Every structure is written in C-alpha cells, then in structure tokens.
Structure 1
Amino acid sequence: MAAPLPAPGVGPPPDEGAASGPCGSCAAAPGRLMRLGLAPGRHDHVVALAGNPNTGKSTVFNALTGLRQHVGNWSGKTVSRAEGGFTYGGARYRIVDLPGTYSLLSTSTDEDVARDALLFGRPDVTVAVADATRLERNLPLVLQVRQITGRVVVALNLVDEAARHGITVDTRHLSRELGVPVVATAARRGDGLPELLAAIAQVATTDDPPPPLALVHHDPALEEAVATLAARVEERFPGLPNSRWVALRLLEGDPGIEEAVRAGTLGELAGAPTPEAAA
C-alpha cells in the first residue's frame, strides 16, 4: 500500500513570527500567520512545495514555518525532506518541502519521491514555486503538477530579481492560462506572502477545484492511444482524478506507475484519506 505524505514530527513551542495585515498583532486576527516550526501533530490541511532547484522554494518554506530547513530523509529513501507547520485563518497547516526536481517523469529518485507524494499523498494544496527570471525553464514542471491536480497555487518567486533584469510577468494572464492562482513573491523580503497565504487557504478549503490540466498532443495516433488507455484506466479505477496523466506515463513506460497499476494501489487516488486520517 502506498504511504501518504510522511508522518509529522513533534515541534517546539510556536514561534509567532511575522503577521500579515493591519491587525497582524491581534491574536484573533483571521488572516494572521503563526509559524509553528516543526510540523504539528494535528493539522487541518497538508501543503506540498514543489519546484525546480534554486527557485527559492526552501526560502518560501522557511518564511512560512520559521524554520531554517529542518531536514530528514523520506521513508526508505536517501533523499532529504523538510516539513513544518503554520496556522493561518484559524486552521493548522502541515507543509512538506518536496525534493527540488526538473520533472515528474520518474528518471531519478528525487522525481519518484516528488511524484509519489503528489499522487498518493494527495496534498490539499501544492504550491509550485517558479523562478520569475527563468520562467520558461520552470513552466514544464508547473504544467506536470497541473496534470496531476487542480489544487495548485503558483508562487512566482524572485520577482525582485526579475525586475532588476527588466523582466515582468503578467500574473493575471498566467493564472488564466493555468487555471489556478498565481502569486508574485520575493520570499527573501517577505513580499507577496500575505497574498500567497490567502491563495493557499482558498484552494485548501474549496469544494470545487479545477480538474487536472489535460494537455492535448497534436499527433492523432498518440491522442487516440492516450484516450483508449485512459478509458481502460478509468474502468479499472473508477473515480481516478487524473487518468489521462496516468495513461501518458504508462505509454512512456514509467515503472512506478506500472507497479501502482499492477498492485492496485493506484485506486487509492480515488478515495485517499483525509489529512486527519493520514496524521
């Protein structure tokens, strides 16, 4: 049976950290961020951080948790992981920093870990961190995440560096194209974090997230093969939210997805445990 996102550790007393909004110093402020350090034992929502290396992903993690990368290993893997917690708007969040990777196509252990965490851990929100100065290089991973889930927020990080190079990104247009919120951030300075937290809370609590992105290939033979295989996957695993993505991975010979189909663990995606049940 595939494991959910790794079990949380026991953290130190809460570090209240920086607050957002004009009433950030008020203990009852609904939009206030309270950094909890290590992941809390009880949580309402799970957030995964995904992104290429050197996008500032760990800086976002540290800004939200108050940690300086508490690192351990993923179960059964030599790949490092970091997790922590924070509260926002009266809810407690466990946040897991996935390994930095350029794709989810299962060509390395890092990619296996990140892909399996998104597929089988089924976080309530995946924050895809992208470097605004190298957006073209970062978008392939964002698109792959979107093919797995619609519960995504894109953190367009390092916008201050981009501005120094004369680069601007139309976040509204990018959000329309991707179908998910896109928030401009400069995590080192704390810029955009209140808006990022609001977007995370919105996606975590919505009952109607957008469906996974279905990219259309312009090869009729490939499209026919994907559609035929996706229908067979749906027949075997009713309720699977991203059968088209699974079909593409099977056609590419992804060994992890092939094993999940053979073992039947792919069916867990149609009825994964809630965050409390997985805690």
Structure 2
Amino acid sequence: MSTFKIALAGNPNTGKSTLFNALTGLKQHTGNWAGKTVELAEGAFEYLDDTFKIIDLPGTYSLYSNSVDEEVARDYILFENPDVTLVVVDGTALERNLNLALQVLEMTEKVIVCVNLIDEAEKKGITIDSGRLSKQLNVPVVKISARNKLGFDHLFKTIHDLVHGNITTKKYKINYSPELEKKIDELEPIVEKIVGNRFPSRWIALRLLDGDRGLVESLNKRM
C-alpha cells in the first residue's frame, strides 16, 4: 500500500470543506501550520490499495502574499510538493473561481480541477463542458456535488490514475505582455541556477518581478 499527499485548495464558499469532510469522514484532525496561527485540517481516505492524506488549505482568492492564509496555502503547494492539488471551483461561478485555479496551474501540473455544486449549476441552466475545459487547462476536470457525493467514483479514479502516472498533465503557461515576458526570460535562468528543478522557476520569477517579499522570505528559510 502506498501513501500519497493531496492538497485541497479553493476560494471560500466553494464547498471545499464539505468535500474534505465527505472524503475523510471521521479520519481527520487539525493542527497549526509551521509557526502560523492558521489551522489546517488533515484527514485521510483509502482507495483500492492506496492511502491518501489530504490537507484542507485555507480558502483564498489568490496565492499572493496579501494575507497569512494566502501564504500558508501557497507555501504548502510550493514546498510540501503534494502528489495532487485538488482545486475546488463553484460550478455556478466558474469564471470567477478559475483565477485561483490558474495560479495553482502556473505552480504545478499535478492538479485536478473539481467543479463542485454541479447540481446547482444544472438547476440554473449552466452547462459545463469538462472535456473541453480539461483540454484548455492541460489537467483533468471532474464535475462533482460534494454535498450529495455525486461524481465521487470518477474523482477517486482520476486521483488514482494521476498519482500512478496514467494521466499526463502539463503546467499551464499564461502569456503576458511582451515587456513582461522579456523580463521573465532574463530572470528565469538566474532563478533556475539558484533553485534548480526543486521549484517552478518561471512562477518564482513572476512573483519576484511583482515584488513578493513574503515569497523571498519563505524561500530563504528553505534554501
């Protein structure tokens, strides 16, 4: 039996914690994150011959260093290197929720996008083409209702296939303005020399150009 780590990310009010509770049942506990006041819920579930430890990250709208919650969520994905990051998005407000998903996808390709509240979306006449969205994002997209446990069989199989290499994903690349891309091209090789392949050099270059001092402090602690 193998053990894998899953990070659970998403905006507030997307049903992220409902999904965490549905997946883990009573196999959960809370603890503070590395000297921060933010509590993280941890739990586990089993599927086939594998155990999956799941961390419910703070609900955030971004992964920039604007709050302790954002720093904790970002640092977990970046430094703990989870085997899968499940990004939970609200199927009734998909466009707004995809902002965080795209930020995660710039950091790691080991992502599954969970479109939650799909039953509510359908009641509102919203149709989501998960196959097309998956092709655009380069990662699996699974439609679920955490409250009713709809789509869980598909979700479990997708997680299993991703961690065992049966699904190929790619890091998502956002093309910025020519001026910014030029600066990224100049800075990224320098970043890569320092961090190697341990961390995403393009994403770090972007954050440095944005003046993210919190990230610099976090990197200094771990280098």
Does the TM-score normalized on the shorter chain lie above 0.5? Answer: yes
Specify the alignment match of 2:19 in structure 1: 60
Q: What is the CA–CA distance in structure 2 between the aligned matches of 1:195 and 1:62, rounded to whole Å?
A: 18
Q: CA deviation at 1:74?
A: 2.0
Distance 1:76 1:264, change over 3 A: closer
1:255 aligns with 2:213: yes
Asked if 1 retains the 8 angstrom alpha-carbon contact of 2:161 and 2:167, the reply is no
One-letter amino acid of the counterpart of residue 20, structure 2: F
- When Rg is computed on C-alpha atoms for both structures, the one with the higher figure is 1
Q: What do the CA deviations read for 1:141-190 (whole angstroms, capped 9, x no partner)?
A: 00001011000011100001111111111100000001010000011111
Q: CA deviation at 1:238?
A: 2.1
Identity of aligned residues (%): 49
Q: What is the CA–CA distance in structure 1 between the aligned matches of 2:57 and 2:26, rounded to whole Å?
A: 15
1:226 aligns with 2:172: no
Secondary structure of the residue aligned to 2:92 is: helix
Secondary structure of the residue aligned to 1:187 is: coil
Secondary structure of the residue aligned to 1:133 is: coil
Specify the alignment match of 2:157 in structure 1: 198
Q: What do the CA deviations read for 1:38-85 (whole angstroms, capped 9, x no partner)?
A: xxxx96100010000000101111111113974333231111211101
1:243 aligns with 2:201: yes
One-letter amino acid of the counterpart of residue 251, structure 1: L
Q: What is the CA–CA distance in structure 2 between the aligned matches of 1:200 and 1:208, rounded to whole Å?
A: 9
Asked if 1 retains the 8 angstrom alpha-carbon contact of 2:8 and 2:16, the reply is yes
Q: CA deviation at 1:205?
A: 1.7
Specify the alignment match of 1:106 in structure 2: 65
Asked if 1 retains the 8 angstrom alpha-carbon contact of 2:138 and 2:170, the reply is no
1:125 to 84, 106, 109: 84
Q: CA deviation at 1:260?
A: 4.2
Asked if 2 retains the 8 angstrom alpha-carbon contact of 1:132 and 1:162, the reply is yes
Distance 1:102 1:92, change over 3 A: same
Specify the alignment match of 1:87 in structure 2: 46
RMSD: 1.9
Distance 1:264 1:111, change over 3 A: closer
**Greater than 4 Å deviation, 4+ residue runs:** none
Asked if 1 retains the 8 angstrom alpha-carbon contact of 2:58 and 2:69, the reply is yes
Q: CA deviation at 1:207?
A: 7.9
Deviates more, 1:252-261 or 1:144-153: 252-261
Q: What do the CA deviations read for 1:201-251 (whole angstroms, capped 9, x no partner)?
A: 11112188534222111x211110011111111122222451111000001
Q: What is the CA–CA distance in structure 2 between the aligned matches of 1:259 and 1:72, rounded to whole Å?
A: 23
1:115 to 64, 68, 74: 74
Q: What is the CA–CA distance in structure 2 between the aligned matches of 1:136 and 1:155, rounded to whole Å?
A: 14
1:172 to 131, 138, 146: 131
Specify the alignment match of 1:3 in structure 2: none
Asked if 1 retains the 8 angstrom alpha-carbon contact of 2:78 and 2:199, the reply is no
What number of residue pairs does the alignment pair up?
223
1:24-103 matches, cutoff 5 A = 44-67=3-26, 70-103=29-62
Secondary structure of the residue aligned to 1:44 is: strand
Specify the alignment match of 1:37 in structure 2: none
More helix by percentage: 2
Asked if 2 retains the 8 angstrom alpha-carbon contact of 1:212 and 1:241, the reply is no
